Amino acid sequence: MTDKPFPTEAQIAAALAAAKARPALTEIYFVACGGSYALMLPNQYAVDRHAKTIAGHALNAAEFMARNPARLGPTSAVILCSHSGTTPETVDAARFARAKGALTIALTNLPGSPLDEAVEFPVYYTHAPKTFAPDHSAAVMARLTFGILAAREGNPLAQKLDTALTALPALIDSAIAAHADRIATFAEAMKREPVIYTMGAGANYATAYSYAICIFQEMQWIHSAGIHAGEYFHGPFEITDFDVPFIVLRGLGASRKMDDRGLDFVTKYSQRVTTLCAEELGLGVIDPEVVEHVEHMAFGTLLRVYCDKLADSRGHPLTVRRYMWKMDY
Amino acid sequence: MTDKPFPTEAQIAAALAAAKARPALTEIYFVACGGSYALMLPNQYAVDRHAKTIAGHALNAAEFMARNPARLGPTSAVILCSHSGTTPETVDAARFARAKGALTIALTNLPGSPLDEAVEFPVYYTHAPKTFAPDHSAAVMARLTFGILAAREGNPLAQKLDTALTALPALIDSAIAAHADRIATFAEAMKREPVIYTMGAGANYATAYSYAICIFQEMQWIHSAGIHAGEYFHGPFEITDFDVPFIVLRGLGASRKMDDRGLDFVTKYSQRVTTLCAEELGLGVIDPEVVEHVEHMAFGTLLRVYCDKLADSRGHPLTVRRYMWKMDY
């Protein structure tokens, strides 16, 4: 973060005005890598669910360039994200998309970074993983997506989303406080655990994926996979046993039926299930039309506190890496 | 399989004629669960890569219904697959899509099954996982997808695809014979292994995902995850160590750069990498414009032989389950 506030609000407004001004807009590509790619998945979800004239595609940045979609061009918006603004594939993808005539928008925490400079419309976000605010990355992404749907199609959910994002910080703070004992128990129980699975559906699958690859595999060297709750019964559930740990995200939106089916089964056959339930976190006060688009932000923030405590119990700080930042790759 | 040959060719022709006859077709939803969902991913890849007026979306069947895409309707084609034709979510998704006015096409191995009866255009495929033929499921899926692109947009690749599918069986048989020693070595080395990762990119990610969830997790109770080669460097690569086994798929198509980058790194830090290389399998004789759309079929068939031998060495036949088919869930 810089010393002065980021111009985030003005940047969002500029990006949305550009999206509105395009003669046509037929698809949004959501392009990033790793944790930033995971941020994109709930936005493809939102486009799939709500957009009448726009298709959404979330793609890893290298995959996006290799795939070189036939539809990518002047009627496309490409929204990218890299925290440091230096991820080479994401910077290359921004240049690639811009050269094709697409509207390019990028989120980054680092003004002046290569990604900031590669796109027409940069948007800076603030970053504090153990708290939440409407100018954090996941919130800014959702505001851009719903803002484009409002600008292009008159979708009415953007205002409800903003109201939800304003209510979330206090709800998340309360949830973190209320979970203190559970967090300590989890950290102690998992301190020598070699495998932890994460499960979710709908927009929450993004959080399951993100924690599997960025927290467990990357930051804790724990074997993991993000399991989609709808896919669980078509293969992964056979790995369930009394001693296999799962984190399950139970939402309040359209995917709740999948969540509950997965949860009913996994809690019957594993004794080591950690459940984060949106209803129990108090998210029932959020407008039912948008709660499914923000609950992953609450799950992600709360899980980060779980994982900080886990890192303590393992004696392995979240900052320690074997390879990342230490060598060329 | 029935006693008489399936009417597969006539069924494909009928489905394609219906796709051509639709007044408009703006998207194809590829909808299934588990291994059949994995079959859909290369088809979304093909649509993303080649279609100029059609968007592609691969979705788990329960997720598809919960997501209830705003664009689903008379201008949509929905292609579903269930081997037994009885997967409840897939059958429900077929009825759901048909009620919305979408063109519904379904692949199944079981004539008369609920899925067969739920859709307008059923297509039967034959099944023999240790061999390959152009009327196997992955091939039939690709023929439908490229056939729709030909019918709607005049895409010229369908003929090249058919030529490639005709050449594949002999190439795969040779590859299986040539790999006999490697298959035996793999099976012996992995016989007490608790974790095996699979990695691929582009259309081959589908095979990595399928083998992770259907073979390792489901049929062998081995912890696993399908890792996208482009995502590997953004989290998962930190789990790499000298004793962590990976299967890596190295293609000949657009994603080869990602494959090679992943392979270079993983072979440096793990001593237990099994590589399947499309070039070394002889797939270099296939037309470069379509090889990336069929190599996953070669990888999948060859890997099945690896896994059969692995099942022998573990004393755990691929047919043995803890939960599947044994209880309600």
pLDDT per position as a tens digit, A123-135: 999 999 999 999 9
- The kind and range of the H/E element at B226 are strand B226-228
CATH superfamily label, A8-155: Glucose-6-phosphate isomerase like protein; domain 1 (3.40.50.10490)
**Distances from the Cα of A29 to the Cα of A54, A93, B46, B67, angstroms:** 10, 11, 16, 18
State residue B3's pLDDT score. 55
In A, which residues are within 8 Å of B69 by CB distance? 48-49
A140: which 2 tokens? 């800014």
Over the stretch A89-139, which tens digit does the pLDDT of each residue have?
A: 999 999 999 999 999 999 999 999 999 999 999 999 999 999 999 999 999
Q: Return the structure tokens found at A134.
A: 């409407």
Q: For residue B247, give the 3-state DSSP assignment.
A: strand
Joined tokens for residue B227: 């890792």
Instruction: Provide, as residue numbers in chain B, all residues whose Cβ is less than 8 Å from the Cβ of A218.
Output: 234-236, 238-239
Distance in Å, alpha carbon of B282 to nearest chain A alpha carbon = 23
Amino acid letter, residue A69:
P
**How many cross-chain Cβ pairs, A to B, lie less than 8 Å apart?**
204
Length of chain B: 329
What pLDDT band is residue A5 in, cutting at 50, 70 and 90? confident
If we measure between CA atoms, which residue out of A12, A282, A242 comes closest to residue A144? A12
Give, as one character, the DSSP assignment of residue A221. -
Checking if the pLDDT of A321 tops 70, the result is: yes
B-chain residues near A45 (CB < 8 A): 67
Contact (Cβ atoms closer than 8 angstroms) between residue A54 and residue A25: yes
Strand positions, DSSP E, B164-204: 197-200
Select from B159, B169, B200, B172 the least CA-distant residue to B287.
B159
Task: Find residue B198's DSSP bridge partners.
Answer: B226, B247
- Quickly list DSSP for A3-40: SSPP-HHHHHHHHHHHHHHSS---EEEEEE-HHHHHHH
Measured CA to CA, the distance from residue A317 to residue A329 in angstroms comes to 23
Cβ separation B66–A201 shorter than 8 A: yes
A164-314 shares the fold of A8-155: yes
Residue A11 makes CB contacts below 8 A (sequence gap 6+) with A121, A122, A123, A124
pLDDT on residue A3: 55
Q: Which of A157, A183, A223 is nearest to A309 (CA)?
A: A183
Distance CA A191, CA A272 (A): 13
Q: How far apart are CA B88 and CA B114, in angstroms?
A: 9
In DSSP notation, B30-43 reads: EEE-HHHHHHHHHH
Question: How confident is the model over A144-196, as pLDDT tens digits?
Answer: 999 999 999 999 999 999 999 999 999 999 999 999 999 999 999 999 999 99
Contact A233 B33 (CB under 8 A): yes
Contact, A106 vs A115, CB < 8 A? yes
Give the minimum alpha-carbon distance from B67 to chain A in angstroms, rounded to a whole number.
6
Domain A164-314 has CATH 3.40.50.1100: no
Neighbour tally for A160: CB within 10 Å: 18
Cβ-based contacts of B229 with chain A (< 8 Å): 62
Neighboring chain B residues of A66 at a CB cutoff of 8 Å: 201-202, 230, 254-255, 257-258
Q: Which of left, alpha, beta for B250 (phi over 0: left; psi -120 to 50: alpha)? A: beta
- In chain B, whose CA is at the least distance from the CA of A232? B34
Which class is B167-314 in CATH? alpha beta
Q: Give the C-alpha separation, B275 to B51, whole Å.
A: 31
Which of A33, A199, A228, A238 to substitute to test the interface with B, most B CBs within 10 Å? Answer: A238
Domain boundaries, chain B: 8-155, 167-314
Please give, rounded to a whole number of angstroms, the shortest distance from the CA of B31 to a CA of chain A. Answer: 12
Residue type, B250: R
Q: What's the full length of chain A, in residues?
A: 329
Which residue from A minimizes the CA distance to B215?
A235
Confidence at residue B1, expressed as pLDDT on a 0 to 100 scale: 44
Q: Check CB contact under 8 Å for B234 and A37.
A: yes
**Set of chain A residues whose Cβ sits within 8 Å of the Cβ of B34:** 231, 233-235
Cα(A260)–Cα(A75) distance, integer angstroms: 39
The pLDDT score that the predictor gives to residue A1 is 44
Contacts of A257 (CB under 8 A, 6+ apart): B62, B66
**CA dist., res. A262 & res. A197, Å (int):** 13
**Residues contacting B38, CB < 8 A, separation 6+:** B206, B207, B209, B210, B213, B214
Contacts of B213 in chain A (CB under 8 A): 231, 234-236
Residues 6+ apart with CB under 8 A from B227: B197, B198, B199, B208, B236
Low-confidence ranges of chain B (pLDDT < 50): 1-2
Give the one of A61, A87, A221 whose C-beta lies nearest to B239's C-beta.
A221
